[in-house]
Structure 1
Amino acid sequence: MRDASRLRLLLLLLLLLFLLSEAEPEPSGPGSAMLSAGLSVSLLLAASCALWPAAVRAASCEPVRIPLCRSMPWNMTKMPNHLHHSTQDNAVLAIEQFEGLVGTSCSPDLLFFLCAMYAPICTIDFQHEPIKPCKAVCERAKYGCEPVMKRYNHSWPDSLACSELPLYDRGVCISPEAIVKAEGPDPYYQDPSRCNPESSPDFPMDSNNFHCRSPIRDRCKCKTVRMALKTYLKNNYNYVIRARVRDVRNRGLEPTAVVDVKEVLKSSLVNIPRETHTLYYSSSCLCPPLTPGDEYLIMGYENEETSRLLLIDGSIAQKWKDKMGRKVKRWDQILQGRGRPRPNPRPSRH
């Protein structure tokens, strides 16, 4: 009932603004006309914001459900996160790769930094984009933990590059020292004996996947995204290629698939020649799944800054059939005919 009342009130306000515009005298000049129009629009926007329910305005924030991040000094997050996971379920599987590294206590900033990336803080005042961690937080975490990673032949992943993050005094960002914590132990303290090479003769970390040994992949379940016109129009993919899979690599913190590109059906800002390319997954679950030796139609996104082709949530990989090429070209004509712009790459740190 209250929503209906708000709608009626808004319609009355629109009618009132229309009547006022008809009744007011002719402006004396172009400046007056612009001022009058701007004032009317400002009044309308202000009224609309005031009438819109607070619950709707805050709907983009959701409670943090990622177990590793429940101890953080914030309890609301926003998806997609800075690594393009569209749901927290997908983010959980990706962040748990770092569980072993967190357990080494290599840096007191590591867990805070990871959670700021995978479960970014969300507030009503900053809803348009998730708030990023400050560059200094990333650098401290990297400085403390990359030496541990190198002992297992791994480097700090490009997807968590510090260079792309804002400085504390030059932009909006979040850091541990900026948050007032309640009295008591550090909320993001980790038990050093949990996964610590110093307290255990056998470091309980998988040297191939760099996380504490746990059945993470046993819980992986790829959501099948079927090739259909509706999906194509909705997801607005950056690239569509026909490719044969050479290898799928799930070593380290950046799982990849190496493919030989046979045909480029669609591309955006990243040049895709017909040669061997690396596709970058967003988690160790390797979704969508690819089988070495098979030929696929692959639809995905790109990162112009790093010239990377991405396989993230919503990407499609289906076994190749000859009719697929004509179908995609026809769908792209429909997409362009609807007046939609060429797709812009999702911002990424891959």
Structure 2
Amino acid sequence: MLVRLVLVLAATTASAAAYLNDWSQAGVRNSQPTCVDIPRNMKLCHGIGYHKMLLPNLLDHDTMEEVSSQASSWVPLLNINCHADTKLFLCSLFSPVCLERLIYPCRSLCEKVKAGCEGRMRTYGFPWPDMFKCDKFPLDNDMCISPQVNNNSSSEADKCQACNPDQTYENIVDNFCRSDFAVRTKFEKVRKNKLISNKAKLLKVKSSVDKAQQRQLRRPTFTLQPSDTCCSDIMRGSTEVFLVMGQFRDSKIVPSFAMPWSKDSKAFKRALRTFKQINCTDPKFVSQSVISGVEDPANANRRKRGKAKGKKKQQQHKQQRKNPV
């Protein structure tokens, strides 16, 4: 992921004066740029591959408190795994690497992440925010952060994805709502492209699934997609119980998500509780369960200014009571 950053670091020879000039051109800043440690509690970007970030960042956040607060809102989007470069894109803005010049994400990086994530965000009632408009970012060059996942590596990453999903709360619930069915089952037989179960407990069946298909789910035979046939090697010989979710395609039961029924996983247990109460047909209800934290910072900043005005008025009232005219 950080190959591009290393190349940029090696190529950067500008003076500190040029760096400060770049910074001033980026907009009016309330404080001078400094390098600070990326805190451990900043889940979005801690462990990204570098330890120091610029403050203010590229989103005009002036304090680490503001950075951490705003960044935490985007962790759920990262956890639904809508694009492999989501973290790289977000952290290039929230925690830009400390170099002598400002390093922005390339426009192509923004466009690829947007293509992967915008549809999922809209499903839950969130538009792609103005602060991430891709035409704001530079065309690809040696001085911006380009996509790290190309078409070839992406196709490799897609292999066995059904049986190696991200086991985050957000991704489990996101798949639950997008699936035609969810079942609890064991695999009795495994073939090259088939996973065969003798019995399954239905956890969810979409209203579009007819009665014949529901009967299929009682003793399901799952048909793996070509990119997931390697799952048969992973599942062969397993005696574990699995949560399996997926779609009906041409009368075939196609799994898109399969993970062990893990009683020790907090994310898994939380997701199971959510299954019992979530209404997947209500985007507002789903957004509260999956990506409720995602918010355009413009709205957050307006709310913050409102709170600041409120505190100022309270202080003025207190002062007036202390010093009556």
After TM superposition, the score normalised by the length of structure 1 is: 0.40
More helix, by proportion: 2
TM-score of the two chains, using structure 2 as the length reference: 0.43
